[in-house]
Amino acid sequence: MQEQVGILDERSPQVSELELSNLEPDNLAIQFQFAAGSVIGRNHVLVGKNNQDAYRVMLREQFIVAIVCDGCSAGRHSEVGAKIGVRMIAEEIATLLDGGLAISEPEFWHRLKHNLLQKLKDFVALASGGAELSKSVTMEFVNDYLLFTIVVAIVTPRETVTFSIGDGAIAVNGKFTEIPPYADNAPPYLAYGLYNPEAINFEIRDRLPTSELESLLIATDGIIDLAVVEPIEQFWQESRYFKNPDAIRRKLAMLNREEVKPDWHKQELTKRSGVLSDDTSLVVIRRILAVSC
* 182 three-state secondary structure: coil
The answer to pTM > 0.85 is yes
Count CB neighbours of 105 within 10 A.
12
Of 141 and 267, the one with more pLDDT:
141
pLDDT at 149: 96
pLDDT in tens, 73-99: 888 899 999 999 999 999 999 999 999
Q: C-alpha angle with apex 147: 143 to 151, nearest 5 degrees? A: 175
pLDDT > 90 fraction of the chain, expressed in percent and rounded: 70
Q: C-alpha angle with apex 99: 98 to 102, nearest 5 degrees? A: 85
Per domain, the residue ranges of the chain are 2-291
pLDDT in tens, 5-35: 543 333 444 555 555 555 567 899 999 999 9
Give mean pLDDT, residues 177-201. 90
CB 225 within 8 A of CB 280: yes
Class of domain 2-291: alpha beta
